[in-house]
Structure 1
């Protein structure tokens, strides 16, 4: 079953040349592992960008699955670890389940709360 994570862009503030880059789709077999990557068109992602990851399942409200690089809200299983890999943010889905099929979005803080890219 496919995992799709879309590359959307929300820019508020002055940094209008910053673009978040993500692959348009990935697939994984049940029980498998897949890594989703979130980068910047220029520059590196670091913990100072407080990477966040969001899961949007069809017909349901989106939910935060990672905030501040690797923290998980209550109720999110630990098979969704977040990290920095090289110069990008990463979300790893381990032991993939059919219910994990969703759109996945990342967000990066770019210096002020009015300048965040998704």
Structure 2
């Protein structure tokens, strides 16, 4: 089994209210990314909250300004019209079966 590395860029993202920002996770594997791609939001050291799953499906109360996308070797999340309450740490997650890989 090959080692797969996921790199999240940028590591720090600054935004002004109403900006559009995109965060990307690049995958070292040549294997096509599956549908088990997700994003988590963590505020003030609390438990990370699922906000996007299956690449581009928003979880329950996730606002419509959050969207997900995927290409051959990367997946991304965009916030269109950033709000003050979006200030947080964001994590990408890719499930390749066993073991799970996170960044």
TM-score (norm 1): 0.76
4+ residue stretches of structure 1 with deviation over 2 A?
41-46
Mind listing any 5+ residue stretches in structure 1 that lack a counterpart? 1-13
Q: CA deviation at 1:93?
A: 0.6
Count of equivalent residues = 101
Provide the residue aligned with 1:62 in structure 2: 48
Give distance in 1, aligned partners of 2:32 and 2:82: 26
Mind listing any 5+ residue stretches in structure 2 that lack a counterpart? none
> For residues 35-92 of structure 1, what are the alpha-carbon distances to aligned partners after superposition, in whole Å with 9 as ceiling and x for unaligned?
000111232653x152100001114221001000011111111100011145310100
CA RMSD for the aligned pairs?
1.7
TM-score (norm 2): 0.87
Provide the residue aligned with 1:41 in structure 2: 28
